[in-house]
Amino acid sequence: MHWRFTFYLIPVVIAALLSTGLAFFAWKRRSMAGVMPFSILMLAVAEWSAGYALELAGADIPTKLFWLGFEYVGIGIVPAAWLALALQYTRRTKWLTPRLLLLLSIEPVITLVLAWNKNLQPLLYGRASLEITSTYTVLVLSRGPWYWINVGYAYLLLLLGTALIVAYIPMLKRQASLYRGQIAALLIAALVPWASNVLVVFGLTPFPNLDLTSSAFTITGLAMAWNLFRYRLLDITPVARNAVIESMSDAVIVLDLHHRIIDLNPAAERILGRSLSELVGQTSFQAGAAWTDQIERFYNQAEAHEELALTVNGRRQYFDLRISPLSDQRGSPVGRLVVLRDITERKQAMQALEPV
């Protein structure tokens, strides 16, 4: 094998290292919902980027073709992993069956066989030549019919995954701007590899024959890691939102493991005297500064059921308090659900019946 250094290797190598780091960082937290497909996605992107770096560094056609075949392992996994991540994000895990995964693997396996079998390679790509400039040497291939089938398959899975996430947004309408920002960041990041690949496939890039799609997927990975690990949206938001919908007549507050407010309903807004957008992200002490003693009493209790008296808008009110733990699909704790049922009228009626 012969090699030639080019400065275009630097961003590709950085992307490979970042993706590897994200994959292993996620793997250590694989008990969190959505993290497993994310880790696989990042590992595939890392493999793809590493293969492309070695292809770029190759100075002759055999070297570049060898590493191109290596890249097709990651290229085949990325679309399916993206779709799996979208399915977990939108709580459609029942679709992730062994049969579906087997079906999704058929096209990538065929592509991999074509890439490594010299007799079948013309179906994927034909005549190979080198484009040599003062800064880099790239492989130029004529595209066979299966190349476009592979591109169509990848685009279809990427489109399905993106569409699932877009369709899920209306279910989160009442989320604060904080969460809408997270989802928007994820969608914008999803467009980066789309745009990069379209520019390359249709020859619209200012760097002819340079394919930085794998590096673009690293940007997607960074955005999703921010979503997954900073705000843990996949762990708590859908679980909490369903509980809120079921209990709209009572005040419902959802707290994460750090005692921060993740969600609440209109009844809770009225008690706290502020809107959802103002309260999300605040700790229970910050949101309920007027009731420090009561909050401190239940601060670390995963479960509780007691009667509670609070002064709300200058008026003493009585509530039936219930605190319940929230868990993700794997049973790992992700927060607490606080439900306050107003029993003031019942309490006052009972007090009126008591003898003086």
Cβ-contact 107, 142 below 8 angstroms: no
Question: How confident is residue 32, by pLDDT bands cut at 50, 70 and 90?
Answer: low
* Average pLDDT of the segment spanning 147-168: 87
Read off the CATH number of the domain in which 252 is found.
3.30.450.20
pLDDT value of residue 209: 66
Distance, in Å, from the CA atom of 6 to the CA atom of 21, rounded to the nearest integer, reads 24
Q: Are residues 246 and 220 in the same domain?
A: no
pLDDT at 31 exceeding the cut of 70: no
Cβ-contact 341, 250 below 8 angstroms: yes
Q: Are residues 104 and 197 in the same domain?
A: yes
User: DSSP string spanning 200-225?
Assistant: HHTT-SSSTT---HHHHHHHHHHHHH
pLDDT value of residue 148: 92
Higher pLDDT, 233 or 107: 107
Q: For residue 62, give the DSSP letter.
A: H
Whether 135 maps to a domain, the answer reads yes
pLDDT at 147 exceeding the cut of 90: yes
For residue 258, the tally of other CB atoms under 10 A from its CB is: 9
What is the pTM (predicted TM-score) of this model? 0.64
Q: Domain residues for 71? A: 9-231
For residue 161, which of 210, 90, 75, 232 has the smallest C-alpha distance? 90
CA 222 vs CA 37, 229, 317: distances in Å: 14, 10, 47
pLDDT value of residue 233: 47
Q: What is the pLDDT of residues 275-291, one digit of tens each?
A: 877 888 889 899 888 88
Question: How confident is residue 107, by pLDDT bands cut at 50, 70 and 90?
Answer: very high
pLDDT value of residue 1: 72
- Least-confidence region, from 32-41, 187-196, 264-273: 187-196
Decide which of 214, 231, 248 is a domain's last residue. Answer: 231
- Least-confidence region, from 153-162, 178-187, 318-327, 347-356: 178-187
Whether 2 maps to a domain, the answer reads no
